[in-house]
Structure 1
Amino acid sequence: MKHNISKLQRAISFALASSATIGMYSTNAMAAEDGGEKAKDIEKIAVVGSRAAPRSVGDSPVPIDIIGGEELSKTGNNDMLEMLKGSVPSLNVHQNPISDAASLIRPANLRGLPSDSTLVLLNGKRRHRASVIAFLGGGINDGAQGPDISVIPGIAMKQVEVLRDGAAAQYGSDAIAGVINFVLKDNSEGGSFSVKHGEYYEGDGAQTTYEGNVGLPFTDQGFANLSFQYKNSDATSRSVQRPDAAKFASQGVPVADPAQIWGAPEIKDDVTLFGNVGLDLDNDTQFYMFGNYSERDVKGGFYYRNPQTRPGVYSNDDGATLLVGDLDGVGTGITCPVVNLDGGPLADNPAYQLIAADTELGRNCFAFNEMLPGGFTPQFGGNITDTSLTMGVKGEFKSGFLSGGYYDLSGSVGRNEARFLIYNTLNASMGPDTPRDFSPGKYIQLEKNFNFDVSKGYDFDLAYDVNVAGGLEWHEETFEVLSGDEASFKVGDLYTQGFSIGSNGFPGFKPSDAGEYTRRNYAAYLDIETPFTEEFLMGWALRFEDYDTFGSTTNYKVTAQFQATDTLALRGSVSTGFRAPTVGQANVSNVQTNLSSGVLVDSALLPPTNPISVQLGGKELQPEESQSYTMGAVYQNDGFFFTVDYYNIQVEDRISQSDKIELSPADKAALKAAGVPNVDGLAQVSFFTNDFDTTTQGVDVVANYSMDMLGGYGTFALAYNWNDTKVDKFSAITGEFKVKRLEEDLPNHRATLTWSQQWDKVSGFIRANYFGEYQGVHVDYDATAKTADAAVTLDAEITYFLTDEISLTAGAQNLFDQEAEKLDFAGDGLVNNQWGGKYYETSPMGINGGFYYVKATYTF
């Protein structure tokens, strides 16, 4: 079923919740459709950034990138984060090996700000955030809780729109850095099915993806567009053997090689289903519904537990003596031998031999070296389930004072659940009876939204109608913690003898930790666009939002666009914004394992209002506040399109996880008095805080040129971003190293240059990716940091259209296997060669190297 032109125009012009404005050409402004016919001069229309009718390309007063569905498929990786990273230079994504929950749901950074400073929309409706909080977020994302973008499959996309401008006055919280709107396909016929397989040049990380899309008629007046994706990805390893593990291996102790793995996690049974449905109820009213179900299992690396130094398991005095427990309990008349550790083989230690041989003296004595003589390396993972459903109706008012105007009424619900799992570890307090695998508990994020939007054009005798839009929104956000299996938090009999409790590396959530925390807010907005002349347009937005926790906030935005000549337009904006602290950030508590000055320690994250947090400087969280402005120019002439935009974003009272604060004996005593268990095993405490202010500025440049060439049709596309972040104010709660990470971890310069070429039977592209200098950091430890060199990688792909329906594709990312910055292994005295890594994990191009792939597609 094909909609007539008038209905299509009406749907595009007045999709109020999505809103409509103009964007730029996508990086590859060509599509391989209809058996390879070239697609010239395709005008791209965005539905984000304004609530007026669409205008021609380049007329937007704010910068927007539009990435078509065809372009998203031109990459070897099927992760939406990686797809976007190659097309939007101001978007950075790290691999995050050994980063706890950040390895399960990777955060992304637009314009150098954390993942929860970018608002994500699906078909113009607010997308729920993930349940996972990035406790180890590499400085920039420490404590961030953004949406899980990776569940969105490229094959379901009509286009992706990236609004590179603050938009909190239009859309509410989280839009400080910008907005990403994912627009689902709405075809009522046709479809495609593809199979893709690839792996890294190293011979690991094999990925196989099956995906499909089909458009179906939904009665004679609607459509049902359905998509699926199923994929599996093997783990990668870019590791060498740790020196301490190598020493044990040389003594004949069984140790895995490598003992600790740095690389991408294993992802199994990653399945995603998306649906988009529309139905014309009459000539003026349309029903719509869309949603998804997604689930995947993830398993990644973790830190190696040294069998002579790991606190609470093998030693409590940094390897001076072995931790030995009396299984019959202290005071039974037998004193377990003291095992002094001198660095030699433990099997040759006479005192340990008494225990291992079950002599009369050591019969009831136990050391974990008997079970795990070479130490152990936990694997951290989880099961991630994501679901959403949005339903609504939109149409035209036919009577009353709003006659001729348009409305959109919708409701949505989104849920993200993370069930955490940790393998190959132990609960030391349970001694030899400990399980080895645990389920420490779950986080659940549940969000509900109701929106009512109206829009109407009014004739004030200007160049054309003034568009006036307004609306109401109600939002509820719930964060829930569910307790883990009993063994993951159990206090075993050996606890009183110095053995740690809970699953080592991630102790489970106790029933007392479980809880459900809810916050509600409502908002009202007004959005006006005034075309003073044919050449001069201004927009005005005002939004009031009230939260039942910290109160209310009011934000504004003013935009302007001036058509100076037929080919040159000037544009700019000034706005304020905010980001509300998430319910999870305000209430979550957790114990995590991290490195402190090169030593593996356990750290407790407490709510900011916990008495211990308050004692150390914690306060109830308040919203971040931002002020931003942009100014830019658009030039377009025949086949050439060029934009340049400067931006400046000032954020006050930024929310992040505090630095890890070392616990004094007095702090530990207070923690014990507050009922916190296993205090002696904790070395540090952190909490969420509004502690620092930043100024981020930068320049975006986008250029496209298309022409007939080489007997076909070619497109050249350049995208460049310069980004600089400075921390204007901070305290010891944040710490100087974290400030350095905020300012230097991301490259100041990023660029892509793409040449796409299309003939009747063949199409392809070559893309050069430039990554400027950045701060290389290993294991979140300041002594490892260095300035890493700039690098260039090349991506290439070629597609042959075997028939009108079947195409075959081969390609490679990082074609010439450009290595990430290597760690320095020049001497034993250097700290960064202790943990088995080969590369700095902050590499903006990843650490896995070249990747090749093949793909077959059937289009119908």
Structure 2
Amino acid sequence: MRSSAIRRGRSAALAASATATAMSFFLAVPAFAQDAEDQPAIVVTGTRQADRSAADTVAPVDVVSGAELTNTADSDVGNALRISVPSFNVSTQPISDAATLVRPANLRGLSPDNTLVLVNGKRMHRASVIAFLGGGISDGSQGPDISVIPSIALKQLEVLRDGASSQYGSDAIAGVLNFILKDSPEGGELSAKWGQTYEGDGDNWQIAGNIGLPLGDRGFINLSAEYGESDATDRSVQRDDAAALIAAGNTAVANPAQIWGQPNVRDDLKLYVNTGFDLTDEIKWYAFGNYASRKVDGGFFFRNPTNRGGVFAGPMVDPVTGMASSAANAVPSVLVGDMSNTTAGDCPAGIPLTQGGGLIPNPTILALVKASANCFSFVEMFPGGFTPRFGGTVRDWSAATGVKGKLFGGLDFDLSYRHGDNKSTFSIRNTINASLGPNTPTTFSPGSYQQSENVVDLSLGHEFALGTASVYVAAGGQYRDETFKIFAGDPESYALGPLAQPTAAYPTGQGFSTSSNGFPGFAPNSAGSWTEDNKAAYLDVEADLVEALTVQGAVRYESTKSFGDTTTWKLGALYKLTEALRVRGTYSTGFHVPTAGQANVINVTTQFSNGALQDEGTFPLSSAPGVIAADYIADTVANGGLGLPRPTLGPEKSKSFTAGLAGDFGDISFTLDYFNIKLENRISRSSSIDFPLALCYLADREGVANNCTATFTPRTAELLTQLDNANVIDRADFTGFEDLVAFSFFNNDFSTRTQGIDFVTNARLRLTESGTTRATLALNYTKTKVTDAGATIASTRLRQLEEGLPRWKGFFNLTHDQGRFRSLLRVNYFGKYFEAHLEDDTLPIDAKAKITVDAELGYELFDGLELAVGAQNLFDTYPTVNPWGGIVGAQYGERSPFGFNGGSYYARARFKF
């Protein structure tokens, strides 16, 4: 209580001080001069013309300045965007397997890979991570990793809030994020920042620099670098089961046994270079590229030393002898392995759990097991259970080059090539391969994912004068290929050790799980390389027919290697009602094809389901497990299957409509836009299917077993062995999957309609004679409805899709510059939302709407050097408390749109030259 009181006091003091200081700058005296920042923003996103302003585009384009992205507590671009772009969402992902390394982000409530990300107008490559655990909305997505972009490298961000597949290609369904790099040939900036949460954890620091240099008198090179680290946070409560173990006398159990919080991030390096050179007065060469790497280490679920299946959970045994028993006095036990692999009777079947309500192993039999060279139990290594730590290293790099300019006096051209590569190398520690017994390592390298892409672009354009009208005609083509690779892990991470092998004493195995517990390693049968390619041609016409009317039309043809071809198109128009007021609207079609990773990935993850941890796999429909799944689903109920349509994987297609109003009245401007996106046959990871039941169906169908589903429920490994012995399957195809309880696959099994409203207004406020004050109010309302759902999508997933993000989100931003002082005050609103705790809708978190406040004060000590202090979440607001926190120790839900760390403060020094 004293710690909480101190924290509340410190929070209140910071709030009072920052608020009082901020308000001291907002004193009203009118009159100020027009400056460069008030000129119309010229954009390159959503239009092929070089001089189109954001106010005159047929679809809404928001411009976020580089300064806005750097004047925040967060160095992660994703976190900065969620308080700069109202329809953008990203969460912390504390225990989400690979999604902890690369966090999935959403625009307009759609999947991360429904947003196209560009850098300098060129398509950014995807991350190697596929988000298997994405809170329903992002499940199975594979989008770019925007966190590798250092905010100090950005000149501005342009956000096209419209479907744009016909203009840019696959993925641009929710919109486009175009990160524009700094291109100055002179000057620079150095900054250093340190921060910490009000709770005293989550320490983070960062140093960054940017410099522009001339290349002779005809070019530039602009360099940016950022390096930092951030410590983990802990927002946990003790798990109920762990508390019970401690109460029963198990002093080896940690408190908390499982940590919920942001992960550790170490050696977070981000480099970017942007360069250009005028070859002639009309032709320019350009190039840009990046290198980034970071190490991430996060928590996993606690393995209870009394009941974790495949490690600790043993059979019912006699309480005195520890031998297997079905008698009325039999008790649960901790599993014991026979390392001799000879005859029955060498070891007890289990150590009876007879003390403290069945929570403490019988000390007499435990001592006998410890004394025997042949007998082994994991309570010898981990008497208090264990909690794996999962993470890895993410490495990202890219290089782009091209030439652009004018040919023949008026033909615009841009020819470019870009290569991008992202690799995630996973690691897991403080865990075991139980089947190896006492010989198991406790640290494993489970393998890697790698995504590589190549893009060649040619764009041509020319402006034609037709009387008083002007028409700009653009055409071009694109070739894109991608390769997804899986690299096998170290042999111990997928090994089938001696305690899992059948023996004379245990003809169907000893019951210990295989592979690295928590994240099984990729076996050689999972490793491989898969490619996909795409060829496209487009035509884009934009015309100012009269002074008041602009129209746009685009059509694009794309052909893919594996998923056929398609044609998308778009029509849009803007009409100036007056010089200050415009109406606009668009209608477009779009598409998104499965990635090479989604179509071919093999993965096993540990999830919490039905009150227990279980291994769940993801397989391609073309794999041996995928074929079994498809047969099981499609066969009739009478034959033991589900009698449902056979799952398939193909493209998803969209139809988008926008209509809006934009006004610019000098000191005040606004945009109000409605959007409606119908997305059919969405690509997603299916809900889980019972793996043993699917195998039983196969066993029945092939005559290996008789009515397996009704009378025979062995471990998955035993079924695999039986089917292999009967030559029905090749067990080698299932190496590493011996302990699967459930599995899923990528398919197209539901459709949605997402609609909403975006409102943005900017104002210059006349508050002081010499100061500059600006205010921005941005609101977003987004509602998703599942319009068609197949049988492989569970009810939990449906509700997550419809209610998993706040429908209302917005912010009010106030900045003021007064001499050497600068201040910022931001109020953020996050509406209510639903979270299925542990992906289970019987454990609902009905999160309430919350308001957070951010503040920053800066003072320029002398020309170029500024010191700033600030607070994010100034008043220490937390999400709704998780009513089910005792199950796995999560004090708050993990999907909060503003995180769950509470308030934080920071200090920054910045020198511009």
If the length of structure 2 is used for normalisation, what is the TM-score?
A: 0.87
Q: Secondary structure at the match of 1:223?
A: strand
8 Å Cα contact 1:767-1:796 kept in structure 2: yes
Establish whether residue 645 from structure 1 lines up as the match of residue 673 from structure 2.
Answer: yes
Listed as ranges, the matches of 1:38-49 within 5 Å are 40-49=37-46
Q: How far apart are 1:542 and its partner, in Å?
A: 0.2
Alignment equivalent of 2:874, drawn from 815, 826, 830: 815
Alignment equivalent of 1:354, drawn from 363, 368, 376: 368
Q: How far apart are 1:316 and its partner, in Å?
A: 5.1
Listed as ranges, the matches of 1:618-637 within 5 Å are 619-637=647-665
Listed as ranges, the matches of 1:267-306 within 5 Å are 267-306=265-304
Who is 1:512 aligned against? Answer: 525
Q: How far apart are 1:148 and its partner, in Å?
A: 0.3
Q: How far apart are 1:777 and its partner, in Å?
A: 3.1
8 Å Cα contact 1:346-1:352 kept in structure 2: no
Alignment equivalent of 2:858, drawn from 787, 796, 799: 799
Q: How far apart are 1:663 and its partner, in Å?
A: 2.7
Who is 2:399 aligned against? Answer: 389
Establish whether residue 327 from structure 1 lines up as the match of residue 339 from structure 2.
Answer: yes
- Letter aligned with residue 262 of structure 1: W
Gaps of 5+ in 2: 1-32, 317-330, 502-509, 634-645, 699-718, 724-728
- The percentage of aligned residue pairs carrying the same residue is 46
Q: Secondary structure at the match of 1:352?
A: helix
8 Å Cα contact 2:113-2:171 kept in structure 1: yes
8 Å Cα contact 2:245-2:360 kept in structure 1: no
8 Å Cα contact 2:461-2:473 kept in structure 1: yes
- Letter aligned with residue 348 of structure 2: C
Establish whether residue 129 from structure 1 lines up as the match of residue 126 from structure 2.
Answer: yes
Q: How far apart are 1:224 and its partner, in Å?
A: 0.1
CA distance in 2, matches of 1:70, 1:95: 24
Q: Secondary structure at the match of 1:766?
A: strand
Deviation digits for residues 131-169 of structure 1, max 9, x if unmatched?
000010110000000000101011000000111100000
Q: How far apart are 1:53 and its partner, in Å?
A: 3.1
Establish whether residue 99 from structure 1 lines up as the match of residue 96 from structure 2.
Answer: yes
CA distance in 2, matches of 1:337, 1:282: 83
Who is 1:687 aligned against? Answer: 745
Listed as ranges, the matches of 1:158-307 within 5 Å are 158-250=155-247, 251-307=249-305
Alignment equivalent of 1:780, drawn from 834, 839, 851: 839
- Letter aligned with residue 484 of structure 1: G
Who is 1:557 aligned against? Answer: 570
Q: How far apart are 1:364 and its partner, in Å?
A: 1.2
Establish whether residue 443 from structure 1 lines up as the match of residue 449 from structure 2.
Answer: yes
Who is 2:463 aligned against? Answer: 457
Q: How far apart are 1:483 and its partner, in Å?
A: 0.4
Residues 1:669 and 1:505: Cα distance change in structure 2 (over 3 Å): farther
CA distance in 2, matches of 1:419, 1:614: 31
- Letter aligned with residue 297 of structure 2: K
Alignment equivalent of 2:908, drawn from 835, 855, 860: 855
CA distance in 1, matches of 2:146, 2:398: 13
Q: Secondary structure at the match of 1:83?
A: helix
- Letter aligned with residue 698 of structure 1: G
Q: How far apart are 1:40 and its partner, in Å?
A: 4.5
- Letter aligned with residue 265 of structure 1: P
- Letter aligned with residue 897 of structure 2: P
Residues 1:669 and 1:682: Cα distance change in structure 2 (over 3 Å): farther
Q: Secondary structure at the match of 2:59?
A: coil
Q: How far apart are 1:548 and its partner, in Å?
A: 1.1
Q: How far apart are 1:347 and its partner, in Å?
A: 4.6
Q: Secondary structure at the match of 1:846?
A: coil
CA distance in 1, matches of 2:159, 2:488: 38
8 Å Cα contact 1:68-1:158 kept in structure 2: yes
CA distance in 2, matches of 1:252, 1:322: 14
Who is 1:17 aligned against? Answer: none
8 Å Cα contact 1:169-1:556 kept in structure 2: yes
CA distance in 1, matches of 2:404, 2:350: 77
Establish whether residue 428 from structure 1 lines up as the match of residue 444 from structure 2.
Answer: no
Establish whether residue 86 from structure 1 lines up as the match of residue 139 from structure 2.
Answer: no
- Letter aligned with residue 811 of structure 1: G
Establish whether residue 615 from structure 1 lines up as the match of residue 673 from structure 2.
Answer: no
Residues 1:743 and 1:317: Cα distance change in structure 2 (over 3 Å): farther
Deviation digits for residues 363-404 of structure 1, max 9, x if unmatched?
411110011111100011010000000010011112xxxx41
Q: How far apart are 1:832 and its partner, in Å?
A: 4.6
Q: How far apart are 1:321 and its partner, in Å?
A: 2.5
CA distance in 1, matches of 2:876, 2:694: 53
- Which moves more between the two structures, 104-113 or 333-342? 333-342
CA distance in 1, matches of 2:359, 2:540: 74
8 Å Cα contact 2:44-2:52 kept in structure 1: no
Q: Secondary structure at the match of 2:353?
A: coil
- Letter aligned with residue 96 of structure 1: Q
8 Å Cα contact 1:242-1:836 kept in structure 2: yes
CA distance in 1, matches of 2:113, 2:868: 36
Who is 1:72 aligned against? Answer: 69
8 Å Cα contact 2:632-2:697 kept in structure 1: no
CA distance in 2, matches of 1:564, 1:139: 43
8 Å Cα contact 2:629-2:694 kept in structure 1: no
Deviation digits for residues 54-95 of structure 1, max 9, x if unmatched?
234511110111001111111000000011111101001111
8 Å Cα contact 1:775-1:842 kept in structure 2: no
8 Å Cα contact 2:219-2:277 kept in structure 1: yes
Gaps of 5+ in 1: 1-35, 825-830
CA distance in 1, matches of 2:76, 2:745: 31
Establish whether residue 697 from structure 1 lines up as the match of residue 755 from structure 2.
Answer: yes
Deviation digits for residues 502-539 of structure 1, max 9, x if unmatched?
10011111112110001111100000012221101110
CA distance in 1, matches of 2:821, 2:336: 69
Q: How far apart are 1:754 and its partner, in Å?
A: 1.0
- Letter aligned with residue 351 of structure 2: V
8 Å Cα contact 1:170-1:542 kept in structure 2: yes
Alignment equivalent of 2:499, drawn from 491, 494, 501: 494
8 Å Cα contact 1:706-1:716 kept in structure 2: yes
CA distance in 2, matches of 1:93, 1:416: 20
Q: How far apart are 1:43 and its partner, in Å?
A: 2.4
8 Å Cα contact 2:104-2:112 kept in structure 1: yes
CA distance in 1, matches of 2:482, 2:359: 55
Listed as ranges, the matches of 1:331-350 within 5 Å are 331=343, 334-342=346-354, 343-350=357-364
Q: How far apart are 1:417 and its partner, in Å?
A: 0.3
CA distance in 2, matches of 1:550, 1:39: 49
8 Å Cα contact 2:43-2:52 kept in structure 1: no
8 Å Cα contact 1:38-1:759 kept in structure 2: no
CA distance in 1, matches of 2:37, 2:271: 32
Establish whether residue 763 from structure 1 lines up as the match of residue 769 from structure 2.
Answer: no
Who is 1:606 aligned against? Answer: 619
RMSD (Å) for aligned C-alpha atoms: 1.7
Q: Secondary structure at the match of 1:340?
A: strand
CA distance in 2, matches of 1:117, 1:142: 13
Q: Secondary structure at the match of 1:112?
A: coil
Q: How far apart are 1:781 and its partner, in Å?
A: 1.8
8 Å Cα contact 2:300-2:390 kept in structure 1: yes
- Letter aligned with residue 586 of structure 1: A
If the length of structure 1 is used for normalisation, what is the TM-score?
A: 0.92
8 Å Cα contact 2:238-2:886 kept in structure 1: no
Q: How far apart are 1:118 and its partner, in Å?
A: 0.2
Residues 1:601 and 1:638: Cα distance change in structure 2 (over 3 Å): same
Q: Secondary structure at the match of 1:205?
A: coil
- Letter aligned with residue 898 of structure 2: M
Q: How far apart are 1:759 and its partner, in Å?
A: 0.8
Who is 2:809 aligned against? Answer: 750
CA distance in 1, matches of 2:53, 2:683: 39
